[in-house]
Structure 1
């Protein structure tokens, strides 16, 4: 009988099944212990199961469809989407990420192929399984995934069950890792971490990050309530004995239940978790979850009714503490996920929600409701009182930036959060609804860990959120050393110190200081027990007393750099105190008598097989009793063991190099890479002894014979031995600044071709590093203050940049390998270089990886919320009393570009003699714009920014201005705007997503500061006046930016643009420039690249005579996939899109206003509008009938775009009349003189 049964349920239309099957074939668990049961699921529109069975048998193409929304993740959130209770480290993460997945559209042809390939893959895998693997295919298609799981379980015989959805993948160690945990713990379920993936790469699932931050065994949902947010099937291994005792119907709703069988299946997992006696939670990812579209509509009356009924039904099936736990979780996540969509629902759907939510709330205990966070209490108070309009206002508030800015106020002895309707007598919300208690949390960070005069000194900053210690008496701190094993607590000295405000760098020039600094001093002698030194693990606890509130916090949260690698010290012979950070980033101080130490290492060959030889000595029990070396692959996903050769107090062990290299994990496009091995000696009764690596034993890397890989012997930050086997990593051994050049020297053991790149964290940006190699040594030079870009030479923008090696394989592909910092170099880091504009620091991340940290161009006294408040509320008003200066301030896209209509107006002014030497300035954000010498740079958010807005006589902008800006007498403000009107703008957008409640009031105030508003056409003028409620003068001149199309220099500009981009001669240029999607984002301000073009197929069909330029919207952070040779060019950073239009033969866009500009070229336009119904009806809305008016075809599928490009001349001819009508309607003023008309009216005719 097999040990593991893996049930794969897949839609008969699943196009990605082969990837799932491949991941099963590559499991490191012995195949004799595994059986695979493949269970097809009938397509949603199949007339009957018999129809589905006929299609399966005939291998014909069934109806299109991805797995259902429930199968893709259900409707519940994967983690608490709870702004009141979010951990500070997780601020900004989208805990409801699965509710906004990017759909994976396929062309008709591609889907037909996927149908055939998907069905064929299942049959072929079952007919010819990998050697030793038992595979069976259930012939009758199930009607749902829930039924398929039950059917697969019944058809299987393994001791353990695992369920995988077609299209998802398992990590190669998933079965052995989960199974080993269940074998050891005796638990009923083991759950592992989850990563997500799509065609652009793999990433950790935000929703699973906190639950799976570390390994824990033998839990239940009461011990770890966050488990209720993990509702995946594919990351869990179930004991069959548990499965068999679960009530019938737990995973397959009974017929007639009224439920769509593949909706709300996430709640089935919740039911099962309440029945589980013990569960293991394992930190390593076991499931790679494919991004899918989710289609369940929680804004319709039917969707709301179904979901709330399912939640209520689950609640009623539970009792006692289980029910209270579930109700609390459901109100904070599941019910709230419906509530947050009410602003998109109609009145009838809102009434359904109010009725059903009130019915559910009526069954919830008072203690559960009172235990909710203030924001939830407010929401449900308004629901109970049926205050619909106020509830919608509260929803707008909590979706906006207002939420994080809500202040805390004191009334009597208690604190309250000023959420909407606080102390509003008309609303009648009791003050207790807003009372803050656990929300007033301690925040703490560690900024230094060092040894001083024989004591361990730990310093940093600490305070209670919202209660800044402006005065010394407001905050006191007490510290204890806490024995993590026994609970013993001893007081240790701590000092309160004056420091910079929590979020600011702790420098004397910071904008504001308070008494939030602390410094703990630990005498290691206090850590002895029983009069001697014994192994123990200690933590440091801070007790913070602030204005009568008492909060406790274990010291943790190290800032990046030196504090992440605290030094260790010998306090007695062979006794060391070793501070380290645990997986939760808490400081752990280990008292560690040495048990064994390494004395040597080398690689020898036994025949053709190289072996790593480790030699050492026993020091103290139980090391002398050990007989095996155990290597555990971090974070515990595999084990290897080897016998020791013992000679008295010395030992030797031989580890085949191939074992380490072959057992490295490298999956999920670099994100799932496991190469590090913990080293322990093991006794016959399974006690372990750590092995120390003394300072006189050097680290080394030994190249593998293939030229790409290596094994390395390394010293950890705590002084122990660690092995690494896998890809060879370049190691930086020396670093220096030579003028503005960063010089890196190090070694790289492999012979592979490689280059170094700095890659930005959090965005798509990378920069090559000049590299020279001599044998295994390398030298690299990088000049971060002078980076060549499509916009000219610029400094690196603010942020962190990790150093990677890009290794080229013989087949032409490449992989990126993280560089490392030699441990001997760490004490010299960070190494800084200052320029007049900003600072650069070479440091390490605490996990061996080099990082270059670049500051912004703001000065210390300008950084932080307080500094900006001071500049806004004190400095700016004072500067408004100073005389106006005869200066013109230009702004394009809030300082991001030197472009658009402001640039054209600037150029027109400079062309006139009377303005040729006039003082002019340009707003620049973070130094990322090159300017001509006759413009003064104004730093966005710097003091000069506030002064320029206060004192410049003219402001010419295409962007929104800050709400605090007030035009003063004598100032002139020209708003050129930045787009023509297809999508609704301003007051015409009914549902303002992510904006504050007073958005329209701020907009009304802002538009009153404008003197002139530029209109591109007579058609646009009334829309602009209405949408902005603008009462000033509208300059109906056309957009100055479009003058370039009529310039006598346009051909020269086009030729210069082609050279800058390096485009091949003689190829047709296609520009794809989509707009961003309001609802497709990772976190606020970071949107997904909703790329539905099949770039590979485009290359195959068009690559011979076309090039494709792709321009991401500035809000989009995903990378553009580079496909083919000299085909795809990412031009997102090119400063002026009008210049790109000059070289573009065909524009492919969607709803972007650039269509109105490009129409001046007369060249073809194609509109890739795969989501037009949703975009038009749900997101933004249009000002005119786009389908009827568009000057080119509206295309739904990638293959449609390819076909239109192949036949573009015929398409252009077919749309010739519409194109002319479009141009006549929207571009009648574009003649090359718009800038002149604006200048004549605003500045006077020349």
Structure 2
């Protein structure tokens, strides 16, 4: 069994191993001594349990082979999840620069379990009466080119039964390489199409009930390795599906514990229809059974999760006989009152399990016949009884809040037409597209027909409005919901689902619009979403392709002449904003003859005329970075980047530091020693590093290990406070946001909390402001603009209801400063920029001690120098907004001192100083 290093090696030793390249000679010697002592006590058997690369690292540490150990650590940083394999018969790890022959076999040699199959289905569909499974399957870390012409195999096997080979055809799959999330190996040739003929599962010409598991077997050094095909999380490869085989049999294809299986099922009786009966008071279910087969006698319905809560309903033979030759029909009436159990409108869905009992004493879950049409029946409290099915074809009965069900999906001239029914108050509803990961939203008007209880919507995914701009939907999955026009948040959104019998004919539904592919698909069986595809091509996406662009293509680009162009990067291509924007506008004002190229991530930035968008990390992006005369950025470019001869690279950076950064975090748990060690190289790539003030300059010098020129010019972005057209700009911004005339503007712009995370790089909204109370106290004459940090994902409650405005997507926060009458922040560097305005600030520092003493640490005593009150509670915050004139007077002296220390130079000429120096350097 392979053990994780954290289960064997003490945490402190692992940390010191990770940062051994940054350690000095004495630290390395101490580490080797302690590591050797631990490994000696742990024993050889313990070391053998480690993963392959870890075995090599700790073996080299025990033998004090420092240079080779450093080589392995450097390789592992670049390839954290992959390694090269050599050996046709006895495979072993072969890390470049390490003499594999000097390593014992038990250290470098790979076992079968250490070269597993990674296989995933990406599509499962029926084609010409057969089941077609598409996907990819590769052996982890298999050498480039595999091991020759050995075939790839697949078969179905019943537990303890016979094995049935199935057709395996190798195809190309760039997704295999992309999904592997590593840069070392290409798995493009490891796609597959597996064809399963259900007829081959018959036993002596007859159907026999049973479940068959799918196994693939791939060649590896020394033989074959078997593996299971796992599911996707969306679409046909993420859900089970049932198909009628005739002769009273059906095939269920799907996944059990993520392993693909097919089941031959002989139901004996199936539900074929449903309708309201008894004057609308009961649900009539119609079953069909083979004449001469097992006779169904009753239907049992049990509330899921409630033992003993079961009702029985007799099955009566239907009048008029069967509609199908050789079949008998039966009906059962289930009173809707028996299925109505919820006592609150928003109570969670209550599920019921249905079983069919037969005359021979057997029983089984009720399934539906292929083509079964679901139904919904309104009940009191805004609830409904839903009669539907799922992937395996089970009959599903629900008491649930009323849901919207789509029955038409169609692309019409680049617009997605969505139509369906809803038994709730549709006239109050709006249509919401909500991003599945970022929780960003687009709210669209709904067309509603009260007479038919139907809704319709047209979605133009390439033309979504964002303030004054029109942009395509951000890449990712956008789920459909209905929302009440007065809703305060998304907690009571109505999910939009697809009618179960229409799943196969309607989706997936793809359309290429304006250079991007949009796909309607499903998750959780019938929950539909609109997927916005990536802008990058398949040759540009994924770690492996990006490595090729950096290491193969970029050197070629650098052999071509420089272009007289400026390549701008603002926050990783996320905005047309900040100091790079100010520099662009100054160059345009001067009439400098250069081409203007702007990094744009996912086509989510609107650019002015004369500026060309270059998609982030595209081939064109790497070429622009290699060939532009000037590069202007406000964030790092990566430790792989090296400026070429003749280029001028300007690093404007993006804040005055209150929180400790870079090398100044040394000695704290937040210090990233590898990043800190890379800082001298990173900052050698910049001809100029722009500093906003005398306070920041020495911090930049030390924290960034900056050895080059620091130009203390002030931030170009803050020249906006001195521009003659600032009032005109403010009027334009208020109009773009739709802020009512005469309303005062409160801008809330907090930073993120390191200990409030969704993932390693995505943070939660730590909302401590009572927005309801703020609305009651302030909404008559204020609006509350909420500007989330880009790392924070969650939606803002109440946004869009007239008082709270989510302005996180507004392109440039500097323009928001111009309309803000008061700023609320905490420890964000926005306070240093906004201080140029002279307007009051409030600091909502409810967690000051924890943030300062545990999370980050400050460069100065914030409690002494803050140019406004430090506020602990939402009540105090609201009161301070009401009394802002008093706050302004009380903190006037502190504010003046703060401006002197942190806002000089502040004369509106920062951009001019930076551009002068930039152009001067180009003449050297």
Same fold flag (TM > 0.5): yes
Partner of 1:654: 333
Deviation per CA, 1:754-799, whole angstroms, max 9, x where unpaired? 3322211111212223421221333211111011113621111111
| Residue 263 (structure 2) pairs with residue 593 (structure 1) | no
Q: Distance in 2 between matches of 1:877 and 1:1106?
A: 55
SS at match of 2:791: coil
Alignment of 1:802-813 (within 5 A): 802-807=479-484
Deviation per CA, 1:280-324, whole angstroms, max 9, x where unpaired? xxxxxxxxxxxxxxxxxxxxxxxxxxxxxxxxxxxxxxxxxxxxx
Alignment of 1:507-518 (within 5 A): 514-518=188-192
Partner of 1:725: 399
**950-959 vs 1176-1185, greater mean Cα deviation:** 1176-1185
Change (3 A) 1:770 1:1101: closer
Match of 1:415 among 87, 92, 114: 92
Partner of 1:149: none
Offset, 1:922: 1.2
Offset, 1:628: 3.5
Q: Distance in 2 between matches of 1:996 and 1:548?
A: 41
Q: Distance in 1 between matches of 2:188 and 2:387?
A: 45
SS at match of 1:502: helix
Partner of 2:448: 773
Alignment of 1:578-977 (within 5 A): 578-582=252-256, 584-605=257-278, 610-619=281-290, 623-624=294-295, 626-631=297-302, 633=304, 640-647=310-317, 650-663=329-342, 673-682=348-357, 687-695=362-370, 697-706=372-381, 708-752=382-426, 753-774=428-449, 775-790=452-467, 792-807=469-484, 815-822=492-499, 823-824=501-502, 826-845=504-523, 847-912=525-590, 914-915=591-592, 918-977=594-653
Offset, 1:1170: 3.3
Offset, 1:1241: 2.5
Q: Distance in 1 between matches of 2:541 and 2:121?
A: 21
Offset, 1:739: 1.9
Change (3 A) 1:434 1:899: farther
Q: Distance in 2 between matches of 1:629 and 1:364?
A: 60
Contact 1:959-1:978 at 8 Å conserved across structures? yes
Deviation per CA, 1:1192-1245, whole angstroms, max 9, x where unpaired? 233344444344334433333332222111111111211111112222232269
SS at match of 1:861: coil
Alignment of 1:1030-1041 (within 5 A): 1030-1041=706-717
Contact 1:597-1:619 at 8 Å conserved across structures? no
TM-score, with normalisation over the residues of structure 2?
Answer: 0.86
Contact 2:125-2:236 at 8 Å conserved across structures? no
Q: Distance in 1 between matches of 2:162 and 2:880?
A: 75
Offset, 1:1159: 0.8
| Residue 661 (structure 2) pairs with residue 988 (structure 1) | no
Offset, 1:1068: 3.5
Q: Distance in 2 between matches of 1:820 and 1:697?
A: 17
Partner of 2:727: 1051
Change (3 A) 1:736 1:928: same
Partner of 2:26: none
Deviation per CA, 1:394-434, whole angstroms, max 9, x where unpaired? 99999x97573452444782433869x97799xx9988557
**990-999 vs 725-734, greater mean Cα deviation:** 990-999
CA RMSD of aligned residues (A): 4.4
Q: Distance in 2 between matches of 1:832 and 1:1139?
A: 38
Contact 1:622-1:688 at 8 Å conserved across structures? no
Q: Distance in 2 between matches of 1:1044 and 1:732?
A: 49
Offset, 1:1103: 4.2
Change (3 A) 1:978 1:814: closer
Partner of 2:251: 577
Alignment of 1:1106-1125 (within 5 A): 1106-1122=782-798, 1125=801
Match of 2:156 among 471, 474, 481: 481
SS at match of 1:815: coil
Q: Distance in 2 between matches of 1:1204 and 1:602?
A: 61
Contact 1:402-1:996 at 8 Å conserved across structures? no
Partner of 1:1185: 861
Alignment of 1:73-84 (within 5 A): none
Change (3 A) 1:1025 1:826: same
Contact 1:662-1:726 at 8 Å conserved across structures? no
Change (3 A) 1:360 1:1036: closer
Contact 1:888-1:920 at 8 Å conserved across structures? yes
SS at match of 1:1081: coil
Offset, 1:676: 4.9
SS at match of 1:911: helix
Change (3 A) 1:696 1:377: closer
Offset, 1:892: 0.9
Offset, 1:1136: 1.0
Change (3 A) 1:817 1:433: farther
Offset, 1:1100: 4.3
SS at match of 1:1076: coil
Change (3 A) 1:674 1:478: farther
Change (3 A) 1:811 1:1107: closer
Change (3 A) 1:512 1:861: farther
Partner of 2:225: 551
Deviation per CA, 1:437-479, whole angstroms, max 9, x where unpaired? 4343221111333344543332321012222663572764222
Change (3 A) 1:454 1:898: closer
Partner of 2:123: 448
SS at match of 1:1087: coil
Unaligned 5+ runs, structure 2: 20-30, 319-327
Contact 1:561-1:846 at 8 Å conserved across structures? no
Q: Distance in 1 between matches of 2:79 and 2:560?
A: 36
Partner of 2:675: 999
Partner of 1:15: none
SS at match of 1:1035: strand
Q: Distance in 2 between matches of 1:1094 and 1:946?
A: 46
Contact 1:1007-1:1028 at 8 Å conserved across structures? yes
Contact 1:396-1:994 at 8 Å conserved across structures? no
Unaligned 5+ runs, structure 1: 1-83, 86-327, 345-352
SS at match of 2:858: coil
Offset, 1:973: 1.0
Deviation per CA, 1:936-959, whole angstroms, max 9, x where unpaired? 111111121111111111111111
Deviation per CA, 1:1078-1131, whole angstroms, max 9, x where unpaired? 333222211122233333444444444433222111111122222795332221
Q: Distance in 1 between matches of 2:657 and 2:675?
A: 20
Contact 1:1107-1:1127 at 8 Å conserved across structures? yes
Contact 1:442-1:551 at 8 Å conserved across structures? yes
Change (3 A) 1:1021 1:686: farther
Partner of 1:1061: 737
SS at match of 1:404: coil
Contact 1:892-1:957 at 8 Å conserved across structures? yes
